[in-house]
Amino acid sequence: MKLACATLVAVVITAAAASTAGANGDPASDVLPFTPVYLSIQDPKTSAAGRDLLTVTTAAAKKRQPIRVAVIASKSDLGLIQSMWLRPQPYSQFLGKELLNFGRYSGTLLVAMPNGYGIYGPQSGKGKAALAKLPKPGTGDLERLGEDAANGVRAVARANGYTLPARPAGSGTPAWVIVLGALGGAALIAGITFVALRRWLLQP
């Protein structure tokens, strides 16, 4: 009797472990059941692109058009299923089914990778055509890819007959561009000052 009980417990534990492993093959499947945005290992609230994604997905949910987003910038973002790298549409189908089976999420899922987009769920019919018209991101930079993903969400919304908030003004300029611009301006001023001072010193 004890042996039978022990065997039954072992079977239950093994089945549960197998189910968990199936759901945890990729990091996004662990994150998206609880939040609408997977932005690699980064907290979306810490970047302009992440906050924009949170804004548009929250607005979509309020319109009863839920959409979640996985921004996949590198192979490591796929965990154990790196064979899906640069295959956004197949991955969106894989992840969408995981979220349905393990997270009970039945809304739309959008995936952004450097080479394009994938979409799965209720808004995918019109959304797929809208995403196909967008330029491919062509970048593995997480911030820029996140911006492209947010624009993809807006394109899906328009295709399905509703609008989402526009991207905040000024959010599209990366911090490094601002810093380089400031340094370049300072260097230009210093150069002009040096030339003027040299001319003054060389005057007879």
**What is the token pair recorded at 22?**
């199936």
Is 68 within 8 Å of 107 (Cβ atoms)?
yes
CA atoms lying within 13 Å on the CB side of residue 108: 24
Same structural domain for residues 184 and 112? no
pTM: 0.73
Q: Residue 199: its pLDDT value, please?
A: 59
Q: Residue 59: its pLDDT value, please?
A: 98
Same structural domain for residues 121 and 197? no
* Domains contained in the chain, number: 2
Same structural domain for residues 98 and 186? no
Q: Which residues contact 82 (CB under 8 A, 6 or more apart)?
A: 75, 76
Same structural domain for residues 197 and 108? no
Q: Residue 18: its pLDDT value, please?
A: 36
Same structural domain for residues 125 and 192? no
Residue 117 three-state SS = strand
Same structural domain for residues 112 and 181? no
Q: How far apart are the first and last CA of the chain?
A: 111
Same structural domain for residues 31 and 99? yes
Q: Residue 17: its pLDDT value, please?
A: 35
**Residue 23 sits in which domain range?**
2-172
How high is the mean pLDDT in each 10-residue block of the chain (204 residues)? 41 36 74 97 97 98 98 97 98 98 97 98 98 98 98 98 91 46 52 55 60
Q: Residue 2: its pLDDT value, please?
A: 43
**What is the token pair recorded at 185?**
């301006």
Same structural domain for residues 141 and 181? no
CA atoms lying within 13 Å on the CB side of residue 166: 4
